[in-house]
Amino acid sequence: MSKIIISWIPAYDNVTQAASSRIRVHYPNNSINQFYSDKFESNIGFNPHSHVLIIQKRIDDSSLNYLRTFKGLKIFDFDDPVFSHPGFKEIIELCDVVMTDTEGRKQQFDNLNTGKPCIIWEDCLDYGLNKPLPVLEFNDKLVWFGNRENINSVTWILNEIIHNNYNLDIISNSLGITLPPQIKEISWNFEGFVNSIRQSNTCILSHAGENKDYKSNNKMLVALACGLPCIVNESKSYEELANMFNLNKFIINNSIQLNEAINYLNNKENRILYLKDIQPYVLNEFSSKKVTKKLLNTINQIFE
């Protein structure tokens, strides 16, 4: 075999406009062709002549038909709870390997006892970030970003921010709610995101609710790479990353802890200290090049 050819079926046709398809299809596909083209070839879209087919959490008739006819290695990749989808059982039966982004998601899948192996393939950095952006000069500006359906995860934090009259930007895809004057909504777009988040100096993040044990740390990775320390709440993946660098004082569960963390980070030198070790770690360990290499190593092992 001269080259291993990989084809991807993304969850979203416009891969740059959805975070999961950027992170788990678009960037890896580009990294393979840029860095590993001596042994691999990659393309987005069904290629019946490829050796590996990766379906990214897409459960529909076309995906099922691809899997029924494809003769190579078939991988189903998911980073959402897709277990209740009517086609889930069949798509798992047709695949050889299942892939997900966190240990929590893997445990969810393993508990289904499908008999199919499940591997963890972590998220890479989003927005093409590959070099450290410096800590911002100004203070007194917080930011939260995410889809509008996730705003409930930070309800108590927003109430505390309103109560204490902190300034907050929300970067989202139209919340559809009325916000008080000190909270500004910024419409998300891919090209302008990095500039938008860098209008603030500290990021607030949470996975509170049913997803706190399952969701990945990709938003925290982005904020850190962009030069923003993170204050996090009820998220296994965020807390694990913070604890690796003894940043547990920024894992908050009540208003006192929140205000202490905000006040500490409302100082440029403290923000520099926060990012000193964790930012270079994130840029190195979660680069698309490095994360993609881990997937290719797994595929190589299967073909050996």
**Domain span at residue 187?**
142-285
**203 assigned to some structural domain:** yes
174 and 207 part of one domain: yes
255-265 helix and 268-285 helix, angle to the nearest 10 degrees: 90
154 and 279 part of one domain: yes
State yes or no: pLDDT of 55 exceeds 70. Answer: yes
**150 assigned to some structural domain:** yes
86 and 44 part of one domain: yes
172 and 265 part of one domain: yes
By three-state DSSP, how is residue 218 classified? helix
pLDDT level of residue 135 (50, 70, 90 thresholds):
very high
**130 assigned to some structural domain:** no
CATH number for 13: 3.40.50.2000
Mean pLDDT across the stretch 144-167? 87
162 and 278 part of one domain: yes
**137 assigned to some structural domain:** no
**131 assigned to some structural domain:** no
120 and 242 part of one domain: no
| Residue 33 near residue 80, CB atoms below 8 Å | no
Question: What pLDDT does residue 210 have?
Answer: 82
Q: Which carries the bigger pLDDT value, residue 88 or residue 149?
A: 88
153 and 206 part of one domain: yes
Question: What pLDDT does residue 233 have?
Answer: 94
Question: What pLDDT does residue 1 have?
Answer: 64
**132 assigned to some structural domain:** no
- pLDDT tens sequence across 259-304: 999 999 999 999 999 999 999 999 999 999 999 999 999 999 988 7
| Residue 230 near residue 250, CB atoms below 8 Å | yes
148 and 270 part of one domain: yes
- pLDDT tens sequence across 74-103: 999 999 889 999 999 999 999 999 999 999
Q: Cα dist. 282→61, 124, 132, 208, 213 in Å?
A: 38, 9, 9, 23, 21
**129 assigned to some structural domain:** no
State the average pLDDT for the chain.
Answer: 94
State yes or no: pLDDT of 66 exceeds 90. Answer: yes
180 and 279 part of one domain: yes
115 and 35 part of one domain: yes
Question: What pLDDT does residue 209 have?
Answer: 83
CA of residue 182 relative to chain centroid, distance:
28
Mean pLDDT across the stretch 34-60? 97
**136 assigned to some structural domain:** no
268 and 296 part of one domain: no
Percent of the chain scoring above 90 in pLDDT: 85
Structural domain count of the chain: 2
Least confident of 24-38, 42-56, 98-112, 151-165: 151-165
27-35 helix and 288-303 helix, angle to the nearest 10 degrees: 80
What Rg, from alpha-carbon coordinates, does the chain have? 20
CA distance 8 to 56: 7
pTM of the model: 0.95
194 and 235 part of one domain: yes
